[in-house]
């Protein structure tokens, strides 16, 4: 195990946390309306799924090769970038809201994921 494995594990866990949490909140709020319980359930479901994904990736990341390893890098990079930009906006860093409307926020995360996957795949080849 090297330093890449825990970093990849955490990054993939973050991505799953964001996707499952947001999906759960969207689904529950459409069924039961908005309320604090919906947000709590969404965050808890995201945390559980994210922790499970982080453990699975941490155990199996050293054995993955080729495109699967590159896909894990891209997936983890997307979640970490998306969370990082969201953190800038949450902390009200001057100019972050104007620089990263949601469309640009999402596209920046995807672009960095593609670049990271390309760099990772080239480094393995």
Q: Convert the pLDDT of each residue in 9-61 to its tens digit.
A: 999 999 999 999 999 999 999 999 888 899 999 999 999 999 999 999 999 98
DSSP annotation of 49:
H
Task: Report pTM.
Answer: 0.85
Q: Are residues 43 and 83 in the same domain?
A: no
Range of the domain at 116: 65-125
120 is written with which tokens?
A: 């990772």
Q: Are residues 70 and 124 in the same domain?
A: yes
Select from 67, 101, 84 the least CA-distant residue to 18: 84
CA distances from 109 to 28, 100, 101, 104 (A): 26, 11, 12, 8
Q: Are residues 92 and 107 in the same domain?
A: yes
Residue 62: predicted pLDDT: 87
What distance in Å separates the CA atoms of residue 116 and residue 5, rounded to the nearest whole number? 15
What distance in Å separates the CA atoms of residue 105 and residue 83, rounded to the nearest whole number? 10
Q: Are residues 76 and 54 in the same domain?
A: no
Q: Are residues 102 and 118 in the same domain?
A: yes
Query: Residue 3's pLDDT band (boundaries 50, 70, 90)?
Result: confident
Tokens 């955490």 locate to 10
Q: Are residues 5 and 54 in the same domain?
A: yes
CA distances from 12 to 59, 102, 115 (A): 13, 21, 17
């Amino acid at each position: 195990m090297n330093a890449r494995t825990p970093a990849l594990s955490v990054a993939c866990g973050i991505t799953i946390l964001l996707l499952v949490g947001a999906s759960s909140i969207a689904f529950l709020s459409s069924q039961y309306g908005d309320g604090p319980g919906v947000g709590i359930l969404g965050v808890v479901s995201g945390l559980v799924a994210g922790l499970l994904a982080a453990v699975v990736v941490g155990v199996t990341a050293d054995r993955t090769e080729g495109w699967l390893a590159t896909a894990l890098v891209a997936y983890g990079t997307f979640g970490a970038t998306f969370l990082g930009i969201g953190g800038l906006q949450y902390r009200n860093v001057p100019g972050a809201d104007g620089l990263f409307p949601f469309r640009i926020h999402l596209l920046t995360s995807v672009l960095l994921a593609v670049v990271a996957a390309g760099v990772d795949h080239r480094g393995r080849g």
